Structure 1
Amino acid sequence: MRSRKYLAGRKSKIGFRQSWKNLSREDRNDLLNFLKVLGIILAVIGSIYFVGINGLIYIGGFWNIFTGEKGPTLGDTTAPPPPTFAPLAPYTNTETISISGFAEPTTEIILFVNGTESTRTVAEAGGTFNFPSVVLNTEGRNAISATATDGAGNVSPKSAELIVTLDKTPPEIEILSPQNGQAFSGENNQIHVEGKTEPGITVRVNENQAAMLADGTFRSTVTAAAGEIKITIVATDKAGNEKKAELKVSYAP
């Protein structure tokens, strides 16, 4: 019984070899290509069976991140999360600023300023993105937002707004006391300086920060030496704009 099975197997192998030899080179290539395609189909079916469609999508997304390539991902209908911005000063006196942040790696980031598209870039493999030269088109309040688009064309919701106020106007200074050219004398060599500016302003008197009241009133004291004293007052707003005022007084002990 065993000999019969062995002989049958031998005959089958011999028959296959003879059939293969009888095929032309073109027929052999066609058969090999068919077997390759069949192998790929079986591999895909096996992959779907073992890891599922979501697993294949995940693997495809990982490959895009690893290679840095951007292209459609089969079956991906999930929008990426909205981009997030790195902290930024809320006030500026320059029209061009730099904005950076984080998003899903390799997604295209579209930046909007006051609802209008401003510029685009692609997030790096680590998820960071940077816009080095963003133009603020409105003096005053500017609302900045962004979206992320992945390789499959899915668009994220808009990010939380980043508010940046463009202010190019220096603050005003009103000096209430002392008067320019005023003369002081006596044992008390403390000269009290008082004035008014806009609320929220930083004021320095001869490089010393003045005390500020909620209504913009500032107060400081200068210790006088005999002779002429120059008093320099510098007011700086949140955007970095400065206004300087100077006056001279004299003191005699």
Structure 2
Amino acid sequence: MYSRRLITEERRNRRKAFFFVVLTLFTIFLIFFYGLPLVAKFASFIYDLRQTSEPVETSDTTPPPPPRLTPLPSATNKERLDIQGTTEPGASVTIYFNSKSEDVLANSEGSFSLNIPLNNGVNIISASSKDSSGNESQKTDTLEITYDKEPPEIEIIKPADGAEFFGNLQRQIIIEGKVEEGTQVQINSRMVVVEQDKTFSFASSLSEGTNTFTIKAEDSAGNVTEKTLSVSFTP
């Protein structure tokens, strides 16, 4: 009786063991042929998702264009000069003047301004830009600006100051003079043509009595010289 039960129990255990082995092999089969590819695809999907979400670092090696400077005068009588212009927003602009240089940062709109001192005579000015990646542009064209604070000279050739004229034949006079190159001339607020040899002439009819003429010369730097010429006329 006891041995029969033992044999039955052993058979039951063998069937359970066999079923477990078959189930295990079947599970391994499913994982190998179906589970691993799915796992691999899922892992690949997660990797691609991370790659697209992470920022891609790129190296900027393109230099910015040279800054655009606001037109400057060819000459000035002011000791300091404002250098203004535009470039890439946030770029650093280097202003070169004579043997010096100074940096200024462009604002969010790309505008910049720097006030620099000038030397007597000709000043050499240029500029370049540098972006946030350290790329530097070419320099702008070189500009020459003359700092001149000396007023221009006026030479009145004729008539002499205090000259007297008589009769209708002398009513019409011509004022002649000479100035420096690049100088504009006005006589009694009227523009006068300056010839290539730097001479000028101005015709006027005299009134009876004293006639006064204000001769104004202004050079390209804005310096002004005035002289007064007085003559008398008797009909």
TM-score (norm 2): 0.74
How many residues are paired up?
Answer: 191
Deviation at 1:128, TM superposition (A): 1.8
Answering whether residue 163 of structure 2 is matched by residue 182 of structure 1, we say: yes
Letter in 2 for 1:178: P
- Could you tell me how far apart the structure 1 residues matched to 2:107 and 2:162 are? 62
Letter in 2 for 1:154: N
Deviation at 1:42, TM superposition (A): 5.1
Q: Give 2:66's aligned residue.
A: 82
Structure 2 residue aligned with 1:127, among 105, 110, 127?
A: 110
Letter in 2 for 1:75: S
Task: Indicate the SS of the match to 1:243.
Answer: strand
Q: Give 1:247's aligned residue.
A: 229
- Could you tell me how far apart the structure 2 residues matched to 1:161 and 1:105 are? 23
CA displacement, residues 17-63 of structure 1 (integer Å, 9 cap, x when unaligned)? xxxxxxxxxxxxxxxxxxxxxx8x85562268xxxx9xx57xxxxxx
Task: Map residues 158-197 of structure 1 onto 2, 5 A cutoff.
Answer: 158-188=139-169, 189-197=171-179
Q: Give 1:111's aligned residue.
A: 95
Q: Give 1:224's aligned residue.
A: 206
1:163 to 1:44, Cα distance in 2 relative to 1, 3 A: farther
Deviation at 1:115, TM superposition (A): 3.7
Q: Give 2:52's aligned residue.
A: 46
Deviation at 1:222, TM superposition (A): 2.6
Return 83-92 or 156-165, whichever deviates more: 156-165
CA displacement, residues 49-106 of structure 1 (integer Å, 9 cap, x when unaligned)? xxxx9xx57xxxxxxxxxxxxxxxx512222111121112111011111121111111
Identity between Structure 1 and Structure 2 (%): 37
Q: For the aligned residues, what is the CA RMSD?
A: 2.4
- Could you tell me how far apart the structure 1 residues matched to 2:176 and 2:223 are? 21
Q: Give 1:99's aligned residue.
A: 83
Q: Is the contact made by 1:84 and 1:160 (CA closer than 8 Å) also made in structure 2?
A: no
- Could you tell me how far apart the structure 2 residues matched to 1:251 and 1:210 are? 23
Structure 2: give runs of 5+ residues left out of the alignment.
1-26, 28-45
Deviation at 1:203, TM superposition (A): 0.8
Structure 1 residue aligned with 2:136, among 152, 155, 160?
A: 155
- Could you tell me how far apart the structure 2 residues matched to 1:159 and 1:125 are? 21
Deviation at 1:126, TM superposition (A): 2.1
- Could you tell me how far apart the structure 2 residues matched to 1:95 and 1:158 are? 24
Q: Is the contact made by 1:198 and 1:215 (CA closer than 8 Å) also made in structure 2?
A: no
- Could you tell me how far apart the structure 2 residues matched to 1:226 and 1:217 are? 28
Q: Give 1:15's aligned residue.
A: none
- Could you tell me how far apart the structure 2 residues matched to 1:85 and 1:47 are? 42
- Could you tell me how far apart the structure 2 residues matched to 1:239 and 1:43 are? 67
- Could you tell me how far apart the structure 2 residues matched to 1:234 and 1:240 are? 12
TM-score (norm 1): 0.69
1:197 to 1:83, Cα distance in 2 relative to 1, 3 A: same
Larger radius of gyration: 2
Task: Indicate the SS of the match to 2:51.
Answer: helix
Letter in 2 for 1:220: F
Q: Give 2:188's aligned residue.
A: 206
Moved over 4 A (4+): 41-44
